[in-house]
Amino acid sequence: MPWDLKPDRPIYTQLIEQIQLNIFSGVYPLGSKLPSVRDLAQEAAVNPNTMQRALAKLEEDGLIITHRTSGRSITEDANMVKLARNRLAKEQIAEFLEKMKLMGFEKQETLTLITTMLEEMKK
Amino acid sequence: MPWDLKPDRPIYTQLIEQIQLNIFSGVYPLGSKLPSVRDLAQEAAVNPNTMQRALAKLEEDGLIITHRTSGRSITEDANMVKLARNRLAKEQIAEFLEKMKLMGFEKQETLTLITTMLEEMKK
DNA sequence: ACTATTGTATTAAGCGCTTAATACAATAGT
DNA sequence: ACTATTGTATTAAGCGCTTAATACAATAGT
């Protein structure tokens, strides 16, 4: 798989995003075994610790499971994946609404704005 | 006016937000004169350069006008304020949609999610 | 039993961004 | 004309976060 890493954001967050996508989209099938941190790191041309950091976050989110000395695998729980995806989305949304609030936009106004904005983009 | 500065985010961004709010809400009336950078800085218990940085951004956004040696004032153009407010909102929205896309959420799905989320919060 | 392969903990270097110190430039106001 | 007051430019210190180096711990696999 192609690792697309840009220098404008932390590497580890980009790794998280890309692995997440691969899990959500089924590129990494449920229950499948992941390459070792070192192998993944080499593949992505990245320090093993950096890859480790990304994997740790994914484990925390319940997307992957660590088997101490025999590597990691994707969770087998399809529902877990669905929930995690949903939770991550809600976190982003909450953070976004918070920012808008700081700027003086209440929830309702924000929703209207985003709706009309998407409407405009369709044209 | 009370300056509420927390150590978890850059000071200058917080200054920007708070001054913006004051302009949007009319606490700083259109065309009114602002205290000098130094005075504002002292009021907010902040280094003058930090306040300067915030004011520079607000000027760039067209919200305030600098008169070189006689201080600054709020723009007199009510429409400018309205447009700026709108533009800032759109920037936030675009950034948010971009993040969601990186996480594998298309615009339509994002909109649905945010709508149902707000619906739930009403209860 | 041994060795190669797992993941992990600790620590330090690097880097970019924010903040602050300082000096400068221009002019309003007297 | 002078001086206090404006904004501004430059530069360096500080700080937090990311990344990397290194050593360690556990065990699967032979």
* DSSP of A28-95: S-TTPBPPPHHHHHHHTT--HHHHHHHHHHHHHTTSEEE-TTS-EEE-S-HHHHHHHHHHHHHHHHHH
Tell me: pLDDT of A62 over 90. yes
CA atoms within 13 A on the CB side of B114: 26
Is the C-beta atom of B46 closer than 7 angstroms to strand C?
yes
- Side chain identity at residue B30, one-letter code: L
Per-residue pLDDT band at A59 (split at 50, 70, 90): very high
Partners of A9 on chain B (C-beta within 8 Å) are: none
Chain B nearest-CA distance from A19, in A, is 10
A49 touches chain B (CB under 8 A): no
Contacts of B17 (CB under 8 A, 6+ apart): A102, A103
What letters, b where the CB count within 10 A reaches 16 and e where it falls short, cover B5-21?
A: eeeeeebbebbbbbbbe
| CA–CA min distance A58, chain B (Å) | 13
pLDDT in tens, A96-110: 999 999 999 999 999
B40: Cβ–Cβ under 8 A, 6 or more apart, which residues? B34, B51, B55
Q: Tell me, what's the ipTM?
A: 0.91
Residue B122 binned pLDDT confidence (cut-offs 50, 70, 90):
confident
Q: What pLDDT digit, counting tens, does each position of B71-112 carry?
A: 999 999 999 999 999 999 999 999 999 999 999 999 999 999
Within chain B, residue ranges assigned H as helices are 11-24, 37-44, 48-60, 78-102, 107-122
The predicted structure's pLDDT at residue B17: 97
At B109 the pLDDT is 96
Residue of chain B minimizing CA distance to A19: B103
**In Å, what is the separation between the CA of A118 and the C1' of C9?**
47
Nearest residue by alpha-carbon distance to C1' of C29: B70
CA A28 to chain centre: 14
Position A123 scores a pLDDT of 74
Of all residues in chain A, what percent carry a pLDDT higher than 70? Answer: 99
CA distance A95 to B117: 13
**Can you tell me the mean pLDDT for A30-57?**
97
The answer on pLDDT for A117 being more than 80 is: yes
Q: Please report the pLDDT score of residue A60 as a whole number.
A: 96
pLDDT band at residue B4 using 50, 70 and 90 as cut-offs: very high
Does the pLDDT at position B123 exceed 90?
no
pLDDT tens for residues B21-63? 999 999 999 999 999 999 999 999 999 999 999 999 999 999 9
Closest by CA position to B15, among listed B46, B61, B59? B46
